[in-house]
Chains A and B, each alone.
Chain A
Amino acid sequence: MWGLTINVKRKVLKGDITLKAAVGVAAVSITCLLGLLAVELFLGSTRSITKFGLPFVEGTTWDPVHDIFGALPFIYGTLLTSAIALLLGFPISIGVAIFLTEKLKTKKAIANVLGTLIELLAAVPSVIYGLWGLFFLSPLLRDFVETPLHRYLGFVPLFSGTPFGLDFFTAGIILAIMIIPTVSAVSKDILNAVPNSQREAMYSLGATDWEVIQKSVLPYARSGIFGATILGLGRAVGETMAVTMVIGNTPSITASLFSGGYTLSAVIANEFTEAASPLYLSALVELGLILFFVALAINVFARLLLWRMR
């Protein structure tokens, strides 16, 4: 009798331990993977870091022929295109989120369909955005937006370059489209989480629908919406294919939106496999490291903001 009990106990325990160990290994491997990633990125950048040091971040020259490398044009391009993306994508995303949560309260079915359709935007692979951007959007923007802007407002530095269509502007617009699903989906969740009692309090004071949104829902959801936006920014910063196919791929730092440019991710995609010298390769890896840090910082920030809403 006793023997039986002891045997059963041991078997059960063994199974438990095996399971925990097995899945524990899986969990450990993720941490190890991340560690390895960070280590390899650093190691790969060492040559470039020791050669150029901190000035690498401010360096404006990218000259593979003479082995001189600087990251600034790419940091600039990444920031500029992301800024355009946020500027245009944020209002649209918020509008969508507001419409779906506040205006379609009574028509859940339509809200669901619309929501799905917008999420389909996220299902389109980046390279197809790029293809569409290259052949459809870029010529369209060049002829109907950039050229008129340049002709009539060309004295403004932003619109000063001769528009070719493959430039910061087009890249920014494509990114704006690409972040809409993210920002609007998260914002929608945030808005839904605002307690109804807040809306009712506002309604009972005699407020219109919009006033309820503007004065009680949006302020309450402020930090969450900000977090959603930062999340979208993180997405924009890491985008590669769509950007590289429409941005022109020339390192440049200029005020003109119609100038060709380059981003951190685009230059890596384009030049990595052609990198002739070890220093060249290392510089590109260092760009990857910078990109990683930028994306990390943005995402940690976003999560902090979203955490506050819960």
Chain B
Amino acid sequence: MSDYQTTTSKLETKRLKAGFGKLEVLKNVNLQIPERSITAIMGPSGCGKTTFIRCLNRLHELTPGAKVEGEVILDGANIYSPKVDPVAIRRRIGMVFQKPNPFPTMSIYDNVLAGLKLNGVKDKKILDEVAERSLRMAFLWDEVKNHLKKPGTALSGGQQQRLCIARSLAVEPEVILMDEPCSALDPIATAKIEELIVSLKRDYTVVIVTHNMQQAARVSDFTAFLYIGELIEYGSTKDIFENPKSEITEKYITGKFG
């Protein structure tokens, strides 16, 4: 594990424990996520990968009964420190969800800018610029540039997901979390989004939860394997898939369970 554990990790979890009420889902996860890279979180269902990623942007605590312990460190500071405003954290660590969730009462244009407008940005010129730039980065601009006033839900599934990605990009986060972003999409849409994800690592740190091993292999630079709430193994994707150190990892990768 040591080669990739440098002090320039963008995001790091220390002794992270999380669960709901009496149920413990994550049991002491220590993981470092390097900057400007794509890290895949893998594991069988129930291993806690979704809970894990939701702890990274303090979304987990919004569920009634949710509990979190430990530290999540962004650029050297713990985001769970009592004086930190979660609102600020969530702007810096964005999230894209499994099922695309554009706001149905807003146009495509308004959807993209929803987060930006929260921060009081009103200048139309700037708004237009950001909208175009975000949509371009999400590989969606050409398809919607003449339909910006249409409702956000008037798009296909794959387009909606790209819209959600554009929406997250517009507030200029540093980290983008993705919770199985392609699992509700068809293969063609999935391929487009995977291409988009790879393009993001130039400017952002991406953490992607996926149950699709081939996707992890295609897209990510690093992979972490979670099993029943524990981090079993972490390393470069190549290493994990070609030379897994743990037996459980090997079993999962070769399809013996999961």
Consider the complex of A and B and state whether they touch directly, i.e. have CB atoms less than 8 Å apart: yes
**With A and B bound together, what is the CA distance between A208 and B89 in angstroms?**
11
Q: Are B105 and A219 touching (Cβ within 8 A)?
A: yes
**With A and B bound together, what is the CA distance between A263 and B97 in angstroms?**
54
The residue that B167 contacts in the complex, of A105, A205, A219, with Cβ under 8 A, is A205
Q: What class of interface size applies to chain B in its complex with A?
A: 20 to 34
Q: Are A219 and B168 touching (Cβ within 8 A)?
A: no
B97 contacts across to A, CB distance below 8 A? 197, 200-201, 204
* CB-CB nearest in chain A for B173: A206
Task: Encode contact with B along A163-182: 1 for CB under 8 Å, 0 otherwise.
Answer: 00000000000000000000
Q: Does A36 contact B (CB under 8 A)?
A: no
Interface of A is mostly: helix
The residue that A206 contacts in the complex, of B62, B103, B105, B115, with Cβ under 8 A, is B115
Q: Does B77 contact A (CB under 8 A)?
A: no
Q: Are B167 and A200 touching (Cβ within 8 A)?
A: no
Q: Does A198 contact B (CB under 8 A)?
A: yes
For residues 60 through 115 of chain B, which have their beta carbon under 8 Å from a beta carbon of chain A? 62, 64-65, 87-92, 94-95, 97, 99, 101-106, 114-115
Q: Are A203 and B90 touching (Cβ within 8 A)?
A: yes
Q: Are A201 and B164 touching (Cβ within 8 A)?
A: yes
Interface residues in A, total, Cβ within 8 A: 22
Q: Are B168 and A203 touching (Cβ within 8 A)?
A: no
**With A and B bound together, what is the CA distance between A106 and B66 in angstroms?**
9
* CB-CB nearest in chain B for A195: B101
Q: Does A222 contact B (CB under 8 A)?
A: yes
The residue that A203 contacts in the complex, of B59, B103, B119, with Cβ under 8 A, is B59
Q: Does B253 contact A (CB under 8 A)?
A: no
Q: How far is the CB of A160 from chain B (nearest CB, A)?
A: 42
Q: Are A207 and B118 touching (Cβ within 8 A)?
A: yes
**With A and B bound together, what is the CA distance between A195 and B101 in angstroms?**
10
**With A and B bound together, what is the CA distance between A197 and B164 in angstroms?**
12
Q: Are B103 and A200 touching (Cβ within 8 A)?
A: no
The answer to whether residues A106 and B90 also contact, given A200-B97, A215-B114 and a CB cut-off of 8 A, is no
**With A and B bound together, what is the CA distance between A208 and B104 in angstroms?**
20
Q: Are A206 and B88 touching (Cβ within 8 A)?
A: yes
B88 contacts across to A, CB distance below 8 A? 206
* CB-CB nearest in chain B for A199: B62
Q: How far is the CB of B101 from chain A (nearest CB, A)?
A: 4
The answer to whether residues A206 and B64 also contact, given A198-B101, A219-B103 and a CB cut-off of 8 A, is no
Q: Are A105 and B59 touching (Cβ within 8 A)?
A: no
The answer to whether residues A200 and B114 also contact, given A205-B94, A205-B167 and a CB cut-off of 8 A, is no
The residue that B104 contacts in the complex, of A105, A203, A206, A220, with Cβ under 8 A, is A220
Q: Are A201 and B103 touching (Cβ within 8 A)?
A: yes
Task: Encode contact with B along A201-221: 1 for CB under 8 Å, 0 otherwise.
Answer: 111111110010001100110
Q: Does B240 contact A (CB under 8 A)?
A: no
The residue that B62 contacts in the complex, of A203, A220, A222, with Cβ under 8 A, is A203
**With A and B bound together, what is the CA distance between A68 and B26 in angstroms?**
80
Q: Are B103 and A198 touching (Cβ within 8 A)?
A: yes
Q: Are A108 and B101 touching (Cβ within 8 A)?
A: no
A198 contacts across to B, CB distance below 8 A? 101, 103
Q: How far is the CB of B134 from chain A (nearest CB, A)?
A: 12
**With A and B bound together, what is the CA distance between A201 and B97 in angstroms?**
8
**With A and B bound together, what is the CA distance between A211 and B97 in angstroms?**
20
B87 contacts across to A, CB distance below 8 A? 206-208
**With A and B bound together, what is the CA distance between A202 and B171 in angstroms?**
12
Q: How far is the CB of A103 from chain B (nearest CB, A)?
A: 12
B104 contacts across to A, CB distance below 8 A? 220
Given A207-B118, A215-B114, A222-B105, 6 new contacts (CB under 8 A): A108-B64, A201-B97, A204-B97, A205-B91, A211-B118, A219-B105
Residue numbers of A with Cβ under 8 A of B are 105-106, 108, 195, 197-208, 211, 215-216, 219-220, 222
Residue numbers of B with Cβ under 8 A of A are 57, 59, 62, 64-65, 87-92, 94-95, 97, 99, 101-106, 114-115, 118-119, 164, 167-168, 171
Contact sample, A vs B, 22 pairs, CB 8 Å cutoff: A105-B64, A106-B65, A108-B64, A195-B101, A198-B101, A198-B103, A200-B101, A201-B101, A201-B167, A206-B89, A206-B92, A206-B118, A206-B171, A207-B87, A207-B90, A207-B115, A208-B87, A216-B103, A219-B103, A219-B105, A219-B106, A220-B104
